[in-house]
Amino acid sequence: MSYTGRFKVWRGDAGGGELQDFEVEVNEGEVVLDIIHRLQATQAHDLAVRWNCKAGKCGSCSAEINGRPRLMCMTRMSVFDESETVTVTPMRTFPVVRDLVTDVSFNYTKAREIPSFVPPPRLGPGEYRMQQEDVERSQEFRKCIECFLCQNVCHVVRDHEENKTAFAGPRFLMRMAELDMHPLDAAEETGLDRKTTAQDEHGLGYCNITKCCTEVCPEHIKITDNALIPLKERAADRKYDPLVWLGSVIRRRGAID
Ligand code: SF4
Ligand code: SF4
Ligand code: FES
């Protein structure tokens, strides 16, 4: 079953652009990325679009579809009414390179700012032991495909370019939370307090737990409930309760020894 669908696709570059109207054939079972490819093949040969896996795993086809941040390859055409005009625009939070392609290097800059896992000094390779519940907790965060839809939707940077230097965004605050809850991470022994760093250097306090990041995550990671809120709670404990700080050091030493 096929029909001719109506689309508005943003075309332009860093200097400016506009929505252009197209009519494109839509077939049963297709996703928005299929339509963009057909448009490229038949009418707009130089349309720029980034994609790779077409399976929701590489995280590169992120865009805004009818204003909602989504993966183009995981958005079925069947969710739209046949008479509806489907609008496809680039992610708004990042600078446009061309058409649907944005420059997401902001995210790589933020990733580089996070100190990596610090191996426990008294354990060798193969000697690490963790409780299964600790493994499962961080496993959820490891499902991230780095599509940056959560970074794109977060109002802290979406409408406030000036916040970008001070705010890492949900994907990277989640990474800090993951490392902070890792029972074998020895960062504190090197003088690195991940909670304080998240608060003071990566803008954890800017997050007012609206959960918009969680709502758009294609991997259904509970970014806010399972990463950001616990990190905020631990940062507050650390700030206001010195006994909590002392207890955490003792617990970590116990896990390492
Ligand atoms: S919950 Fe926090 S990080 Fe997520 S979108 Fe809202 S303000 Fe941004
Ligand atoms: S946390 Fe979810 S929305 Fe954010 S980058 Fe990872 S997969 Fe994408
Ligand atoms: S093309 Fe890989 S996630 Fe869409």
Residue 160 sits in a domain of what CATH number?
A: 1.10.1060.10
For residue 240, the model assigns a pLDDT of: 62
Tally of domains in the chain: 2
Q: Other C-beta atoms within 10 Å of 231: how many?
A: 23
What pLDDT score was predicted for residue 237? Answer: 81
| Whole-prediction pTM | 0.91
> Which atom of ligand 3 is closest in space to residue 147's alpha carbon?
3
Same-domain status, 111 and 37:
no
Between the CA of 79 and the centroid of ligand 1 the distance, in Å, is 26
Residue 186: which of 121, 89, 91, 116 has the closest Cα? Answer: 121
Question: What is d(CA 176, CA 227) in angstroms, rounded to the nearest whole number?
Answer: 9
Q: Which domain holds residue 234?
A: 105-256
Residue that is last in its domain, among 68, 102, 136 = 102
Ligand 1 atom having least distance to the Cα of 208: 7
**Atom 3, ligand 3: which residue's CA is nearest?**
56
Nearest Cα to 87, choosing from 74, 100, 97?
100
Which parts of the chain have pLDDT scores under 50? Answer: 255-257
Which protein residue's CA is at the shortest distance from atom 3 of ligand 1? 170
d(CA 242, CA 239): 7
Cβ–Cβ < 8 Å for 94, 114: no
- Quick one: 211 and 159 in the same domain? yes
β-strands 85-89, 96-98 pairing: unpaired
Centre of ligand 2 from the C-alpha of residue 229, in Å: 17
d(CA 231, CA 225): 10
Query: Which positions ≥6 away from 251 have C-beta within 8 Å?
Result: none
Per-residue confidence (pLDDT) for residue 246, from 0 to 100: 60
CB of 58 shorter than 6 A to ligand 3 = yes
Q: For residues 136 and 134, give the distance between their C-alpha atoms in angstroms, rounded to a whole number.
A: 5
Q: Judge if 144 and 83 occupy the same domain.
A: no
CA 239 to each of CA 17, 173, 243, 249: distance values in angstroms, whole numbers, following the listed order: 47, 18, 10, 14
One domain, residues 96 and 112: no
Kindly report the backbone phi and psi dihedral angles of residue 13, in degrees, each rounded to the nearest multiple of 5, phi listed first.
Answer: -145, -165
Distances (CA, A) of 222 to 27, 46, 150, 170, 219: 34, 38, 11, 11, 9
Residue 130 tokens, joined: 């963790």
Give the whole-angstrom CA distance, residue 16 versus residue 178. Answer: 39
Separation of alpha carbons 72 and 66, rounded Å: 11
pLDDT value of residue 189 = 93
Which of 35, 49, 54 to mutate for ligand 3's pocket (most ligand atoms within 8 Å of CB)?
54
Which of 102, 119, 144 is the last residue in one of the domains? 102
Note the pLDDT of residue 197. Answer: 96
